[in-house]
Structure 1
Amino acid sequence: MGKFALLFLFLFFAGIFGALFYAPVLSVLAYQLVYFVNPDNSWWAASIPGLKYSFIAALLMLFMLMMRYKELSEISPWGKQPVFKWMFALLAIYGLMIFFAIVPEVHKPFTYDFAKLIIIMLAVYKLVNSEEALDACLWTYVLGVTYIGYVAYSVGRDGQGRVEGIGMIDTGGDGNMTAAAMAPALIILTYMAWLGSKKIKFLAILCGAFIANGIVLINSRGAFLGVVSGALFFLCFMIFSRHQRAGQRGMAILIIVVGLVGTVYVTDEAFWSRMETLENIDDGSKSGSHRIDFWIATIDVLEDYPMGVGIQGYIELSPNYLPEHYFEGRKTGKAVHSTWFQALGEVGWFGFALLLMLLISTFRLSRNTKTYLIANKSYNAYFKMLALEGALLSFLVAASFINRARAEMLYWLILFIAIASNIYYLRFTEPKRKIMKSRSAVGGGEDE
């Protein structure tokens, strides 16, 4: 049995034991471990027992939630978290579309998977109820995509200059989807490297190197744009924010310099050749600009199907709405290649509005949390919220060029903000809990 197989089994069963006898949040870490490592798709899969690891971890989370439901509900009530109502509304519209979907045999099982995802998000929200637990989840995410970066390095590029066949459970081995999930980790690592100890800084740089190198090897233009967008968002706040710590601007400039040097070191000619195609819109096959035709066709589809066409409905109908040259030598239709137009096509204008409301609600919640943190002079937590916002923005930019409307990573990033808002803000808005401020995770002001 290989070292990775042994390490996975040790961590997985340690997570189960720890959740049962030490801290329930370890069940969440075990679930994240399975999601990012994706053991069934690993080269060492034959060395481990053929168990349903993801199902076991999810079942463990639900068991821990059931055992401590009353206690957890007092500190993490679902009712006070506004993002959940929009998640349920989205789930409801997908459920309704079972009766109208163009390909119901595909739409139905994917809707069930979406329902299971929402249930998992609800459980995680209650189980991750402290700053330490949130940090543990963030580090598990970072280490998970660091492993993926290592795998990308080990596998290397294929004949097309890409890395395919690796990644999380719900990516199907698609390189663009995998890279989109990796990109937000670099923004979170920027925050950790800034405020962490020397050991944390070293670990953050090491993880960042593997993640950045993995994105470069995958050659995803969307992920590259996502990293740039998220990093600029966070670093601009570091430089121009009125709430400055000693040496903050200097650190931001140092991070930029290190990032540029690291980019030059890990990138190669193949990567920059692919990035240069972003400017070459004349050749749609190279630049991806032909996707605009796919997006516009979504509007045409909705003229005939205003409620949407369900999951895979666009692919089924695309030959009727796109020029014939897109289907030469193909037996299947084309995907829309955009999270925004994917949602629009699947659940129509109303469902698309619900997705927007989910995102608006998330950013509004983060804004309210930041206002509260500033009022309490909890600037470390304030910048953590900005880093989580930057991470979500990074994913949304990358996902604008691929179909990820129901991606588990999208909902994890939304959930991280929801959990942070509960830890730092929501639980202190009730009058009866104001006495807890002195013991709050945000107490201590600037020295935290």
Structure 2
Amino acid sequence: MSLTTVVFIILYAIGAILTMYNPLYGIAAYIFEWHNHPPFWWWGRDLPDIRWAFSIALVTLISLILNRKKLPPLENINYKPLFWLIFFVLNAYMVSTISAVVPDQSFLKAQDLLKITIHLALFVYIIRRPKDYHLIIWVILFCVANWGRISFQEGTNRHLGVAAPHATGGNAVAGYVMAVLPFFGIMFFTGKRWEKILSALIVPFIFNMLILENSRAAILALLVVVFFSFLWLKGRTRLQLVGMMFLGALIFFQLTNEQFWQRQEDTEFEKDTSAMSRIYLWRGVLHMIEDYPFGVGGDGFEELVVEYVPELQRRIERKHERKSAHNTFLNVLSEWGILGLIFYSGFLIHCFLILRNIKRDAQYYEHQKFYHFQAIALQLSFIGIIVDGMFHNQQYLELFFWNAAFTICLRNMQVNEIQLWNKGDFTALESFKKPH
């Protein structure tokens, strides 16, 4: 048994034990397990399949039942955005029943969405204080930092050496770590000294991952995120951003290699087969939805792709490829139909409206900068996922749903804090003390 295996088992066991005392650690352990899912790693091959994610989720649920009354008070928890997701899941099961091309596989995809919804509900119920939120964000950042270390040591061009559920391909991993960068940025701007130092040390490793994978979609998404960062950050923070952008660009260019620039410069559609294939695939989805308005179920488009995208038939048959829509929204449309796209888009729009409200209210009350900057980080992360998802399928990316849960958690905490502030209950407000 390797040292890495032993370390994983120890950390997983510690997480499970701590979870029995506080379900918040169950969320942290779940995120840790997602980044280090044993079946996806060489060191996990000898471990028994105990359904690692399900096991820690079950322990979290048991702990929640046992410790529910010990959780910090939070009144009128708002679950309304989750109704979009619930309808999305119900629609997925309906499509799997009535029109799925591969029903068994479609039901598995619907089951994945159901699990994600349950996890989101747990996130929203358990994360009740800014310090809780802050801890979970840092768990994600440390896990991504470890990915950066692994890619630096073992990664090569177009192969990062890391993977996670629903992020097994390099493009998906690049899109994920790119969307985490805004949280590093906010930690650098608003965090304590140790948080600033750690963020500055970790980000170059994330840049290295993006360069190695050489995903044009992730690079484009990063540029869009930087643009919106400049628009939304004001005053001294914007000046700091300019300095950080200059330093970040310098580090990024120092890390690039010849292969990176060759791929980035190949943007002529007629010469770029991957770009042209996306055009064919997107067109094929629009043709297919005319015949299947309710969608073809999970992985159904991959089964019918030759029928609706004849331009790629020879390539698919020769290479035995499986092609998705290579666009998150079109993939949702192809799998779960028009209703599915409405529910998915409604869920996303609702999250953006909540983030807008968080930033609006943060302007009128003291000690609300934490909510303001975290809302900006979530907005930027969402934008990164959306832009990257225009060229890759990110429908099942966990960070998209985690961001939604974090959005709801932030709003619930902010509303409760404002209510206590208006009541003058400064004793209760002490529990909402910000981490920085």
- Could you tell me the TM-score, scaled by structure 1's length? 0.89
> What's the counterpart of residue 14 of structure 1?
14
Residues 1:284 and 1:440: Cα distance change in structure 2 (over 3 Å): farther
Stretch deviating more after TM superposition (43-52 or 112-121): 43-52
| Residue 308 (str. 1) matches residue 313 (str. 2) | no
| Residue 402 (str. 1) matches residue 392 (str. 2) | yes
Paired with 2:405 and 2:114, the residues of 1 have a C-alpha distance of 15
> Greater relative contact order: 1 or 2 (C-alpha under 8 angstroms, separation 6 or more)?
2
User: Does the 8 A contact of 1:310 with 1:347 survive in 2?
Assistant: yes
Paired with 1:155 and 1:128, the residues of 2 have a C-alpha distance of 35
Q: What are the within-5 Å matches in structure 2 for residues 265-284 of structure 1? A: 265-277=254-266, 279-284=267-272
> What's the counterpart of residue 64 of structure 1?
63
Question: What's the Cα RMSD here?
Answer: 2.5
Residues 1:4 and 1:331: Cα distance change in structure 2 (over 3 Å): closer
What SS is found at the alignment partner of 2:298?
coil
| Residue 184 (str. 1) matches residue 179 (str. 2) | yes
> What's the counterpart of residue 140 of structure 1?
139
Deviation at 1:254, TM superposition (A): 1.4
Residues 1:251 and 1:3: Cα distance change in structure 2 (over 3 Å): farther
> Which amino acid counterpart does residue 353 of structure 1 have in structure 2?
I
Q: What are the within-5 Å matches in structure 2 for residues 11-410 of structure 1? A: 11-21=11-21, 23-46=22-45, 50-69=49-68, 75=74, 80-99=78-97, 100-157=99-156, 161-163=157-159, 166-171=162-167, 173-238=168-233, 241=234, 244=235, 247-277=236-266, 279-286=267-274, 288-328=275-315, 329-331=318-320, 334-377=323-366, 378-410=368-400
Paired with 2:399 and 2:378, the residues of 1 have a C-alpha distance of 13
Deviation at 1:336, TM superposition (A): 0.9
Deviation at 1:46, TM superposition (A): 4.6
Q: Percent identity?
A: 23
Paired with 1:303 and 1:126, the residues of 2 have a C-alpha distance of 40
> Which amino acid counterpart does residue 270 of structure 1 have in structure 2?
Q
User: Does the 8 A contact of 1:81 with 1:418 survive in 2?
Assistant: yes
Paired with 2:24 and 2:433, the residues of 1 have a C-alpha distance of 25
Deviation at 1:380, TM superposition (A): 3.5
What SS is found at the alignment partner of 1:366?
helix
- Could you tell me the TM-score, scaled by structure 2's length? 0.91
Paired with 1:202 and 1:431, the residues of 2 have a C-alpha distance of 34
Residues 1:54 and 1:19: Cα distance change in structure 2 (over 3 Å): same
What SS is found at the alignment partner of 2:269?
coil
Deviation at 1:234, TM superposition (A): 2.0
Paired with 1:64 and 1:77, the residues of 2 have a C-alpha distance of 22
For structure 1, the 5+ residue unaligned runs are none
For structure 2, the 5+ residue unaligned runs are none
> Which amino acid counterpart does residue 399 of structure 1 have in structure 2?
G
| Residue of 392, 407, 430 corresponding to 1:417 | 407
Residues 1:327 and 1:164: Cα distance change in structure 2 (over 3 Å): farther
Deviation at 1:167, TM superposition (A): 1.4
> Which amino acid counterpart does residue 15 of structure 1 have in structure 2?
G
- Please list the CA deviations of residues 350-397 of structure 1 after superposition, one character each: whole Å capped at 9, or x if unmatched: 211111110110000111111111111422321221111101111121
Residues 1:324 and 1:116: Cα distance change in structure 2 (over 3 Å): same
Residues 1:428 and 1:135: Cα distance change in structure 2 (over 3 Å): closer
> Which amino acid counterpart does residue 323 of structure 1 have in structure 2?
P
What SS is found at the alignment partner of 1:32?
helix
Paired with 2:134 and 2:182, the residues of 1 have a C-alpha distance of 14
User: Does the 8 A contact of 1:423 with 1:441 survive in 2?
Assistant: no
Deviation at 1:182, TM superposition (A): 0.9
What SS is found at the alignment partner of 1:334?
coil
Stretch deviating more after TM superposition (108-117 or 337-346): 108-117
Number of residue pairs the alignment of both structures matches: 432
Stretch deviating more after TM superposition (382-391 or 429-438): 429-438
Deviation at 1:126, TM superposition (A): 1.2
> Which amino acid counterpart does residue 223 of structure 2 have in structure 1?
V
Residues 1:10 and 1:332: Cα distance change in structure 2 (over 3 Å): closer
